[in-house]
């Protein structure tokens, strides 16, 4: 650490060496660019982990030592994975790109592959599933699914808790109300309010199209069982990575493409994919 950074840390009233060690560990392990984490969420998760350790008599410095010895898949690494990456997402985010996939790419791919197999789409870094369900809704809206074309949309994310929520298809009604650009009447058509709660759930016909898995873009072996995809969407994920990790993730993503497959990055991330620029829509 530079002397200036160290001075800043000591002056910062929120500075906490255990939190710093926890965050540094997670940045290294998950290839996250420095400082791109949610301090409150990290503090809360760290408190939970330390409280559990304290029950066994673990001190703060024991905790840091355990952290430093943690392997990639240790419970501590997995706990850090739940809280540190930025999971911000929303329904119909960057609608123009999703529309292009639903109305142009998917029908063209379906025509090419025929009815022998489904068109397969991956949302890499799907967070709590909004991107996956948005695409499924747009495919219904474009009448692509109604006329029986088989399609599979798979969401994958590092965070098991986000994947669990995505699988449930349950969202606060307020999240749906925040959306400004979307197909007319989509809330009632695709979701059903849950009794006695401010929650709503994706209808079964929408959920049937979508599946979710835990996987790490930095470790291609964790993605291998998902198979190959005609379209791989990876939006607003690589911008949170340090450059080396972004290139590793891009390599994993290219490895998931079926022949003639299309990689779709967000507008902000397309420049990272320069050697393969012709493939990216974003």
DSSP-derived 3-state class of residue 225: helix
Report CA-CA distances (Å) from 115 to 3, 108, 149, 257: 63, 13, 8, 19
Beta bridge partners of 147: none
Per-residue binder mask for ligand SAM (CB under 6 A), 29-48, x = binder: -x------------------
Q: How far is the CB of 116 from ligand SAM (least distance, A)?
A: 29
| Residue of 119, 132, 138, 158 that binds ligand SAM (CB under 6 A) | 158
CA–CA separation, 42 vs 44, rounded Å? 5
Tell me which of 79, 92, 125, 186 binds ligand SAM, using CB under 6 A: 125
Site for ligand SAM in 191-230 (CB under 6 A): 216-218
Neighbour tally for 7: CB within 10 Å: 11
Regarding beta strands 199-202 and 229-234, do their DSSP bridges make them parallel or antiparallel, or are they unpaired? Answer: unpaired
Give the Cα separation of 163 and 29 in Å (integer): 20
**Which residues have CB under 8 Å from 263's CB, separation 6+?**
232, 234, 253, 254, 257, 273, 276, 279, 280
Which of 88, 96, 111, 198: binder of ligand SAM (CB under 6 A)? 88
Choose between 51 and 271: whose C-beta lies nearer to ligand SAM: 271
Question: Over the Cα atoms of the chain, what is R_g?
Answer: 21
Cβ(228)–Cβ(203) below 8 Å? no
- x/- site string to ligand SAM, residues 13 to 32, per CB under 6 A? -----------------x--
Taking CB under 6 A as the criterion, the residue among 24, 36, 43, 93 binding ligand SAM is: 93
User: Is 159 among the residues that bind ligand SAM (CB under 6 A)?
Assistant: yes
CB of residue 258 to ligand SAM, shortest distance in Å: 20
- The yes or no reply on residue 89 touching ligand SAM (CB under 6 A) is yes
Comparing CB distances to ligand SAM, the nearer of 63 and 210 is 210
Closest residue to ligand SAM, based on beta-carbon distance? 125
Smallest gap from residue 53 Cβ to ligand SAM (A):
24
d(CA 275, CA 56): 51
Q: Which of 162, 176, 263, 272 binds ligand SAM (CB under 6 A)?
A: 162
Q: Which residues bind ligand SAM (CB under 6 A)?
A: 30, 85-89, 93, 125-127, 131, 157-159, 162, 216-218, 235-237
């Amino acid at each position: 650490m530079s002397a200036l950074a160290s001075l800043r840390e000591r002056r910062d009233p929120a500075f906490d060496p255990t939190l710093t060690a926890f965050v540094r560990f997670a940045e290294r392990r998950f290839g996250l660019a420095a400082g791109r984490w949610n301090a409150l969420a990290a503090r809360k998760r760290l408190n939970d982990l330390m409280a559990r350790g304290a029950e066994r008599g673990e001190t703060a410095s024991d905790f840091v030592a355990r952290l430093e010895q943690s392997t990639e898949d240790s419970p501590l690494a997995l706990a850090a994975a739940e809280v540190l990456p930025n999971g911000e997402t929303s329904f119909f985010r960057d609608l123009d790109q999703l529309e292009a996939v639903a109305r142009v790419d998917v029908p063209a791919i379906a025509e090419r592959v025929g009815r022998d197999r489904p068109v397969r789409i991956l949302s890499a870094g799907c967070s709590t599933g909004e991107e996956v369900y948005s695409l499924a809704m747009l495919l219904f809206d474009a009448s692509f699914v109604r006329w029986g074309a088989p399609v599979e949309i798979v969401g994958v994310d590092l965070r098991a808790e986000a994947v669990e929520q995505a699988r449930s298809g349950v969202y606060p009604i307020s999240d749906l109300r925040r959306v400004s650009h979307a197909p007319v009447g989509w809330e009632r058509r695709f979701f059903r309010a849950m009794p006695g709660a401010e929650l709503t759930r994706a209808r079964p016909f929408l959920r049937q199209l979508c599946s979710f898995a835990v996987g790490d873009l930095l470790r291609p072996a964790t993605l291998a069982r998902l198979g190959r995809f005609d379209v791989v969407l990876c939006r607003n994920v690589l911008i949170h990575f340090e450059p080396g990790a972004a290139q590793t993730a891009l390599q994993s993503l290219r490895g998931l493409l079926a022949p003639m497959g299309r990689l779709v990055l967000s507008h902000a991330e397309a420049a990272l994919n320069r050697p393969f620029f012709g493939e990216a829509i974003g």
